[in-house]
Amino acid sequence: MFINYFGMDDLDKPVSNGRKCLIMIYFAFTSLSTVGFGDYTPRADEERIVIAVMLLTGVAIFSYIMGSFISIIKKWQELYEDFDQADDLLKFFSLLERFNGDIPIPVELR
């Protein structure tokens, strides 16, 4: 198993619980980020199953978060779409005034 293979259960050289936790977190992050340096790898079939489930769960959570983020951006763009169109209209009227010899366009026409 992972703990046995990497000597984290060795009674001659005890490893603190904090170090074990740090190694497990490091392993989880390198696996979930798909970096997988290979310095810590699952050794038993049970560990491989747990890691496969962890990776699938991580991908699902990441996909959900990104979908929510894209939804927020889309709603924000829809909210400020009117302001963008008003800005384009102002640019259009400014261009018309410039072609009209810098004579202001009457407000009624706008």
Q: Is residue 66 part of a domain?
A: no
pLDDT in tens, 4-26: 777 666 656 677 778 778 878 88
Q: What residue type is assigned to position 3 of the chain?
A: I
What totals of helices (H) and strands (E) does the chain contain, helices first?
A: 4, 0
**67 in any annotated domain:** no
In a domain, 92, yes or no: no
What total of structural domains would you count in the chain? 1
Per-residue pLDDT, 60? 93
> Is 51 a member of any domain?
yes
Task: Report pTM.
Answer: 0.52
pLDDT over 60 (residue 48): yes
- pLDDT at 1 > cutoff 70: no
Q: Dump pLDDT digits (tens) for 54-71.
A: 888 988 999 999 999 999
In whole angstroms, give the CA distance from residue 8 to residue 22: 12
Structural domain harbouring 9: 2-60
Mean pLDDT, all residues of the chain: 80
80 within some domain: no
Of the two residues 2 and 44, the one the predictor is more confident about is: 44
